[in-house]
A and B are shown apart, each in its own frame.
Chain A
Amino acid sequence: MITLLILIPILGAIIAAASNTEVAKRIAVASSLIATVLSAVMYVQYNAAGGQMAFIEKVPWIPSLGITYHVALDGLSLPFVFLTALLTLVSVLAQFSEKQKSFYALFLVMQAGLVGVFASLDLVLYFLFWEVVLIPMFFIIGVWGYENRRYAAIKFVLYSLTGSVLMLVAILALGFGVAAATKQPLSFDYDVLKTQLEVIKTLPGIGLIFWGFLAAFLIKLPAFPFHTWLPHAHTEAPTGGSIMLAGVLLKMGGYGILRFNLGLMPGEMQFYQTLLAILATVGVVYGAYCAMAQKDLKRMVAYSSVNHMGYVLLGIVSMTAMGIHGAVYQMVAHGIITGLMFMTVGFLSHRTHTRAIAQMTGIYNAMPILGAIMWLAFLGGLGLPGMAGFIGEYTALSGAVKNPDTAVYGYISLLGIIITAGFILYAIQRVLLGRAPGTSSSDDGDTHSESHADSDHGLLVSSSRTASGHTAHSSKWHDLNPLEIAAAAPLIVLAIVLGLYPNLLTPWIDGSTQALLESIKTVMALKAGGN
Chain B
Amino acid sequence: MFADYALWIALFPALGWLLISLFSRALGGRGSAWLATGMMVLSSVLAIGIFLEAYNAAPVYNSGKLQELYKLEKEVKALEVSEKTGVISSETEVKPAGEAHSASPELLALEEKVAALKTPAPGQTGILTSTALENFPFVQEWSWLSIKGEAGMPFGIYYDQLAAITILMVAVVATLIHLFSIGYMSGEDRYPTFFAYINLFAAAMLAMVMSKNLFHVLLFWEIMGVMSYLLIGFFYKKKSAQQAQKKAFLTVRIGDLAFMAGLFWLYSRLGTLDIPTIIAQGQSGELATALGGAAFGIGMLLFIAAVGKSAQFPLHVWLPDAMEGPTPVSAMIHAATMVAAGVYLVARAFPIMEAGHVTIVIAWIGGFTALFAASMAPAQSDAKKIMAFSTLSQLGYMFLALGVFGYTAAMFHLLTHAFFKALLFLGSGSMIHGSGTQDIFEMDHLAKYQKWTLGTVWIGAASLMGIPFFAGFWSKDEILHVVQGENLPLYLMACATAVLTAFYTSRMMIIAFHKPKTISPWNAAVWNQQGEPSLNMTKVDLDEQNKLEHGHGHGSSHPHESGPEMIVPLVLLATLAMVMGFVGSPLLADNWFQRFVYYGIPEVPPLSSLWVGFIVSAVLVFVGVGSAFALYWNRDHTVQIAPNWLTRLLQRRYFIDDYYYASVAKIAFDLQFVFAWFDRVVVDGIVDFVGGAVTVIGDSLRRVQTGGVGWYASLTVIGAVVMVLAFAIAFAGGAK
Indicate whether A434 sits within 8 Å of B237 (C-beta atoms), given known contacts A390-B219, A429-B246, A449-B436. Answer: yes
Check: B189 CB closer than 8 A to any chain A CB.
Answer: yes
- Chain B nearest CB from A168 CB (Å) reads 5
- Cβ of B728 and Cβ of A172 under 8 Å apart? yes
Instruction: Give bound CA distance, A451 to B241, whole Å.
Output: 9
Bound-state Cα–Cα, A158 to B683, Å: 16
Is there an interface contact between A225 and B432, defined as CB atoms closer than 8 Å? no
What's the nearest-Cβ distance from chain A to residue B542, in Å? 15
Is B469 in contact with chain A by the CB < 8 A criterion? no
Residue among B436, B679, B694 with the highest chain A CB neighbour number at 10 A: B679
Is A426's beta carbon under 8 Å from chain B?
yes
A453 CA / B384 CA spacing, docked (Å): 14
Contact stretch, chosen from A106-114, A262-270, A502-510: A502-510
Chain B residues with Cβ below 8 Å from A325 are: 147
> In the bound complex, do residue A155 and residue B691 qualify as a contact, i.e. CB atoms below 8 Å apart?
yes
User: Which chain A residues border B731 with CB–CB below 8 Å?
Assistant: 169, 172-173, 176
- Contact across chains for B268 and A168 when beta carbons are under 8 A apart: no
List A residues 314-333 near B (Cβ within 8 Å). Answer: 321-322, 325
- Interface flag for B611 (CB, 8 Å): no
CB pair B673–A449 under 8 Å, yes or no, is no
Q: Shortest beta-carbon distance, A240 to chain B, in Å?
A: 18
Q: Are B267 and A402 in contact (CB under 8 A)?
A: yes
Kindly specify which of B93-101, B616-624, B709-717 makes contact with the partner chain. Answer: B709-717
Cβ proximity bits A128-153 to B, threshold 8 Å, 1 near / 0 not: 00000001001100110000001001
**A183 adjacent to chain B (CB < 8 Å):** no
CB-based contact A514/B148 at 8 Å? yes
Contact B525 A433 (CB under 8 A): no
> Across the interface, do B226 and A425 meet the contact criterion of CB distance under 8 Å?
no
Minimum Cβ distance to chain B for residue A506 (Å): 5
Query: Are B257 and A401 interface neighbours, CB within 8 A?
Result: no
Rounded to whole Å, the gap between the CB of A342 and the closest CB of chain B is 20
Residues of B202-249 at the interface with A, using a CB-CB cut-off of 8 Å, are: 215, 218-223, 226, 233, 235-242, 246, 249
How far is it, in angstroms, between the C-alpha of A177 and the C-alpha of B735 when the chains are bound?
A: 8
Question: Looking across the interface, which residue of chain B has its beta carbon closest to that of A394?
Answer: B260
Return chain B residues, CB-CB under 8 Å to A425.
Answer: 246, 249-250
Closest to A365 in B: B237
Q: Which residues of B contact A441 (CB under 8 A)?
A: 237
Judge whether A379 is part of the interface by a CB distance below 8 angstroms: yes
Q: Are A422 and B735 closer than 8 Å at their CB atoms?
A: no
* A16-24, A93-101, A192-200, A410-418 - the one binding chain B: A410-418
CB of B720 closer than 8 Å to a CB of A: yes
Asked if residues A397 and B260 are in contact (CB atoms below 8 Å), the reply is yes
Q: How far is the CA of A482 from the CA of B222 in the complex (A)?
A: 32
**Residue A476 CB within 8 A of the other chain:** no
Contacts A397-B264, A433-B233 given; does A414 touch B735 at CB 8 Å = no
Least CB distance from A286 to B in Å reads 6
A452 to B241 alpha-carbon distance, docked (Å) = 11
Complex Cα spacing A386 to B242, Å: 23
Binds A, one of B162-170, B333-341, B361-369, B543-551: B543-551
A414 near B709: Cβ-Cβ < 8 Å: no
From A173, A227, A510, contact of B147 by CB (8 A):
A510
- Interface residues in A439-470 by Cβ distance below 8 A to B read 441, 444-455, 457-458
Q: Assess whether A497 is interfacial by the CB under 8 Å rule.
A: no
Q: For chain A, which range describes its interface: under 10, 10 to 19, 20 to 34, or 35 or more residues?
A: 35 or more
Contact A510 B146 (CB under 8 A): yes
What is the bound-complex CA distance between A498 and B232, given in angstroms?
27
Measured CB to CB, the closest approach of chain B to A246, in angstroms, equals 18
B326 at interface by CB-CB < 8 Å: yes
Chain A residues positioned under 8 Å from B106 (CB to CB): none
Contact A454 B147 (CB under 8 A): no
CB proximity to A under 8 Å, residues B656-677: 668-669, 671-676
Is the beta-carbon distance between B552 and A449 smaller than 8 angstroms? yes
In angstroms, Cα B147 to Cα A507, docked, is 8
Known contacts A289-B671, A290-B679, A449-B436; A418/B250 CB under 8 A: yes
Q: A422-B250, A454-B241 are in contact. Are A503 and B143 (CB under 8 A)?
A: yes
Q: Do A165 and B239 touch (CB < 8 A)?
A: no
Shortest CB-to-CB span from A76 to chain B, Å, is 15
Residue from the set A142, A225, A293, A395 with the largest chain B CB neighbour count within 10 Å: A293
Query: Are A448 and B553 in contact, CB atoms less than 8 angstroms apart?
Result: yes
Residue of B nearest to A501 (CB): B144
Q: How far is the CB of B572 from chain A (nearest CB, A)?
A: 24
Closest to A416 in B: B257
Q: In the assembled complex, how far is the CB of residue A522 from the closest CB belonging to chain B, in whole angstroms?
A: 17
CB of A292 within 8 Å of the partner chain:
yes
Check A445/B189 contact, CB under 8 A, given A384-B226, A502-B144, A510-B146.
yes
The answer to whether B716 and A411 have CB atoms under 8 Å apart is no
- Asked if B254 lies at the interface with its beta carbon under 8 angstroms from chain A, I say yes
Given contacts A150-B709, A165-B720, contact A449 B554 (CB under 8 A): yes
* Main SS at interface, chain B: helix
Residues of A contacting B233 with CB < 8 Å? 433
CA A415 to CA B719, docked complex, whole Å: 42
Using an 8 Å CB-CB cutoff, how does the interface string of A335-356 with B read, 1 for contact, 0 for none? Answer: 0000000000000000000000
Closest chain A residue, CB of each to CB of B223: A386
How far in angstroms is the closest Cβ of chain B from A290?
Answer: 5
CA–CA, A426 and B683, complex, Å:
26
A residues near B218, Cβ cutoff 8 Å: 385
Q: Which of A176, A441, A449, A457 has the most CB of B within 10 A?
A: A449
CA distance A385 to B727 in the complex (A): 48
- Assess whether A154 is interfacial by the CB under 8 Å rule: yes
- Taking CB atoms, residues of chain A closer than 8 Å to B432 are 449-450
Give per-residue flags for B311-344: 1 if the beta carbon is below 8 A from chain A beta carbons, else 0: 0000000000000001100000000000000000
Interface core residue of A142, A415, A453 (most chain B CB under 10 Å): A453
Decide yes or no whether A53 CB sits under 8 A from chain B.
no
Once bound together, how far apart are the Cα atoms of A390 and B144, in whole Å? 14
A165-B147 contact given A289-B672, A450-B235, CB 8 Å threshold: no
Which of B144, B265, B671, B672 is in CB contact (< 8 Å) with A401? B265
Chain B residues, CB < 8 A from A260: none
Pair B187/A447 contact, Cβ less than 8 Å: yes
- Cross-interface CB contact of A433 among B242, B260, B668, B723, cutoff 8 Å: B242
B-contact bits for A414-432, CB 8 A (1 contact / 0 none): 1101110111011001001
**B735 lies within 8 A of A458 (CB):** no
Please determine whether A290 and B238 come into contact, CB atoms closer than 8 angstroms.
Answer: no
**Residues of B contacting A503 in the complex (Cβ-Cβ under 8 angstroms):** 143-145
- Chain A residues with CB under 8 Å of B45's CB are none
CB neighbours (8 Å) of B226 from chain A are 379, 384-386
Chain A CB within 8 A of B433 CB: yes
B268 touches A418 (CB 8 A): no
Q: Check B253 for interface membership: any CB of A closer than 8 A.
A: yes
Could you tell me if A411 and B261 are in contact, using CB atoms closer than 8 angstroms?
Answer: yes
Which B residues are in CB contact (< 8 Å) with A379? 226
Query: Does any Cβ of A come within 8 Å of B701's Cβ?
Result: no
Chain A nearest Cβ from B181, distance in angstroms? 12
Verify B709–A401 contact, CB threshold 8 A: no
Given contacts A173-B731, A176-B732, contact A289 B675 (CB under 8 A): yes
A362 within 8 A of B: yes
Q: Can you list 18 A-B pairs, Cβ within 8 angstroms, ordered by A?
A: A169-B724, A176-B732, A227-B683, A290-B676, A292-B676, A365-B237, A398-B264, A398-B268, A407-B268, A411-B264, A429-B242, A433-B242, A446-B235, A449-B553, A450-B327, A450-B438, A453-B549, A454-B241
User: What are the 8 tightest A-B residue pairs by CB atom distance, in nearest-first order?
Assistant: A293-B676, A454-B238, A289-B675, A401-B264, A447-B553, A228-B684, A293-B672, A292-B672
Residues on B lying within 8 angstroms of A by beta carbon are: 143-150, 185, 187-189, 215, 218-223, 226, 233, 235-242, 246, 249-250, 253-254, 257, 260-261, 263-265, 267-268, 326-327, 432-433, 436-438, 525, 548-554, 668-669, 671-676, 679, 683-684, 687, 691, 694, 709, 712-713, 716-717, 719-720, 723-724, 727-728, 731-732, 735
Known: A451-B237, A454-B239, A455-B548. 4 other contacts (CB 8 A): A143-B709, A169-B731, A293-B672, A322-B150
